[in-house]
Amino acid sequence: MKTEDHSFLKSETIENVSRIFKVLADPTRIKILYLLSQEECNVNHIAEVLEMSQSAVSHQLSMLRNLRLVKYRREGKTLFYSCDDEHVISLLKQAIDHAEHH
């Protein structure tokens, strides 16, 4: 196989792929996304369930929002977050499956 025969990835593609996996590479975000894949949650609920500070959760949600991986709806003072990217959840669940069954 010669060098010319490679199918190279566009650097834009590489950056996007990297971005997806970076999100999924942090234990906290894994927990948040997995939780949200099961049910819509408000911020304090996430913080309590995952035993994290409100601030830490909010910072992570901010990131997930910017990347369009979660969305939210408001109900009074409360924001309910939920998943907004089925494909990323699919990647996550596959990895979980793989990790659990070794």
Q: Which residues bind a second copy (CB under 8 A)?
A: 1, 3, 6-7, 9-10, 13-18, 20-22, 24-27, 30-31, 34-35, 38-39, 48-49, 87, 90-92, 94-96, 98-100
- Report the C-alpha gap between 11 and 73 in whole angstroms: 35
Q: Give DSSP secondary structure letters for 3-18.
A: GGG--PPPHHHHHHHH
Identify residues 67-96 at the interface with DNA (CB under 7 A): 72, 74, 76-79
Tokens of 26: 């942090």
What is the contact surface with DNA in residues (CB under 7 A)?
22, 25-29, 42-44, 52-56, 58-63, 72, 74, 76-79
